[in-house]
């Protein structure tokens, strides 16, 4: 069997520190079939509707189901259900750890609710997190900032971090911030075209860089809008590891935003990245290395308070 090879343009961009990894829910597929947390919107909405009854016509619509629960069972119920769904995540996958070990990317984007990226970054120095927050819970704020230990940081502190992890949808850790309901997204979409919800440091760091989409699909309008707005004014060349044939809307998105499709399974791409580590002169770990054990996080106390 032929071993996949990392495209030269991606290898060169990694060497130059010009790659911004953009991680989606599909990254969790690398955790195996028994992954304990939802790895797609469909499985997440099943978790939410198992806790609260919603009308049949919206049972498969994540944002609408979350909005119904928020309206009729209170926002606390939504937050508690989200924490319950993501509290016991698997260990960071080999690809998470490979990306976390690369010292050059100043920006890493993670558009799902698990906490594997920040756990993979444990042990690194000089990094922090910016997370999108719900206006329903933090009116007037678009983002919160956290140090590696989970303590809150001022926005100005982010400029001193070598690596910024940006989680536009929030995350279970460290403070159970979630953008998940219709109203959460309406607030953001009202302002996102003029970039107001994006942290200034994200806008600064994306300039001139190439986005590498891993575990992402662009099938819904929300997925396409967030990806397009986050990579706005960056560069005119990007990549997406997308083994499945894109839908018509996805193909149009890839063409419009100069995103080159890499038709490889994610696991094969991870192997190609590891194989290229010597040529990249980067201290990447072996993918067979043991992952760090999960440590209790602040969100466990948050969940208890919301139950």
Rounded distance, CA 146 to CA 144, Å? Answer: 7
% the chain with pLDDT above 90: 79
State mean pLDDT over 68-84. 96
Task: Delimit the domains of the chain by residue range.
Answer: 8-290
| pLDDT at position 85 over 60 | yes
Which range, of 33-37, 71-75, 168-172, 275-279, averages the lowest pLDDT? Answer: 275-279
Rounded distance, CA 62 to CA 303, Å? Answer: 20
Rounded distance, CA 42 to CA 24, Å? Answer: 14
Per-residue model confidence as pLDDT tens digits over 35-61: 999 999 999 999 999 989 999 999 999
Structure tokens at 138: 């933090």
The pLDDT value given to residue 294: 46
Across the chain, mean pLDDT equals 90
pLDDT interval class at 282 (50, 70, 90): low
The pLDDT value given to residue 276: 81
Backbone angles phi, psi at 116, to 5 degrees: -65, -40
- The continuous run of DSSP H or E covering 19 comes out as strand 19-23
Which residues fall within 8 angstroms of residue 148, CB to CB, at 6 or more apart? 118, 121, 122, 124, 127, 128
Asked whether 106 and 192 are in contact (CB, 8 A), the reply is: no
**Is the Cα torsion angle 14, 20, 26, 28 positive or negative in sign?**
positive
The pLDDT value given to residue 265: 95
The pLDDT value given to residue 174: 97
| pLDDT at position 236 over 50 | yes
Which range, of 77-86, 94-103, 224-233, 252-261, averages the lowest pLDDT? Answer: 94-103
The pLDDT value given to residue 149: 95
pLDDT interval class at 279 (50, 70, 90): low
Q: Which residues pair with 131 in a beta bridge?
A: 144, 167
The pLDDT value given to residue 103: 78
Range from 101-105, 266-270, 296-300 that averages highest in pLDDT: 266-270
Asked whether 212 and 147 are in contact (CB, 8 A), the reply is: no
User: Interhelix angle for 94-101 vs 266-275, to 10°?
Assistant: 40
The pLDDT value given to residue 275: 84
% the chain with pLDDT above 70: 89
Burial of 136 (0-12, 13-18, 19+ CB in 10 A): middle
Structure tokens at 301: 């106390």
What strands lie across the sheet with 163-167, from one edge to the other?
152-153, 143-146, 127-132, 163-167, 107-110, 19-23, 210-214, 238-241, 259-262
| pLDDT at position 232 over 50 | yes
The 10 Å Cβ neighbour count of residue 188 is 23
pLDDT interval class at 298 (50, 70, 90): low
| pLDDT at position 260 over 90 | yes
CA dihedral defined by 274, 158, 170, 107, rounded to 10 degrees? -30
Rounded distance, CA 172 to CA 81, Å? Answer: 11
- The alpha carbon of 193 is separated from its chain's Cα centroid by a whole number of angstroms, namely 20
Alpha helical stretches, state H, 16-157 = 41-51, 62-73, 75-86, 94-101, 116-120
Rounded distance, CA 265 to CA 4, Å? Answer: 10
- The continuous run of DSSP H or E covering 21 comes out as strand 19-23
The pLDDT value given to residue 150: 96
């Amino acid at each position: 069997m032929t071993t996949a090879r990392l495209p030269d343009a991606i290898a060169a961009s990694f060497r130059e520190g010009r790659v911004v990894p953009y991680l989606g829910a599909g990254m969790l597929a690398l955790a195996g079939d028994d992954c304990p947390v939802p790895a797609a919107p469909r499985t997440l909405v099943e978790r939410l509707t198992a806790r609260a009854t919603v009308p049949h016509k919206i049972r498969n619509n994540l944002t609408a189901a979350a909005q119904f629960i928020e309206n009729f069972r209170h926002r606390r119920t939504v937050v508690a259900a989200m924490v319950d769904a993501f509290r016991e995540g698997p260990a960071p996958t080999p690809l998470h750890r490979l990306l976390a070990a690369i010292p050059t990317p100043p920006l890493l984007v993670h558009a799902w609710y698990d906490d594997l990226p920040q756990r993979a970054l444990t042990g690194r120095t000089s990094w922090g997190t910016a997370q999108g927050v719900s206006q329903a819970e933090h009116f007037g704020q678009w983002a919160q900032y956290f140090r590696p230990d989970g303590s809150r940081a001022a926005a100005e502190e982010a400029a001193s971090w070598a690596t910024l992890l940006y989680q536009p949808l929030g995350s279970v850790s460290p403070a159970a911030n979630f953008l998940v309901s219709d109203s959460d997204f309406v607030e953001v979409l009202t302002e996102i075209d003029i970039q107001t919800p994006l942290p200034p440091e994200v806008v600064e760091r994306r300039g001139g860089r190439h986005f590498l989409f891993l575990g992402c699909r662009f099938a819904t309008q929300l997925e396409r809008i967030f990806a397009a707005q986050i990579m706005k004014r960056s560069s005119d060349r990007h990549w997406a590891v997308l083994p499945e044939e894109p839908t018509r809307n996805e193909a149009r998105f890839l063409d419009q935003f100069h995103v080159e499709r890499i038709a490889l399974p994610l696991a094969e791409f991870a192997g190609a990245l590891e194989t290229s580590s010597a040529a990249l002169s980067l201290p990447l770990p072996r993918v067979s290395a043991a992952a760090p054990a999960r440590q209790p996080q602040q969100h466990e106390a948050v969940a208890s308070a919301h139950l």
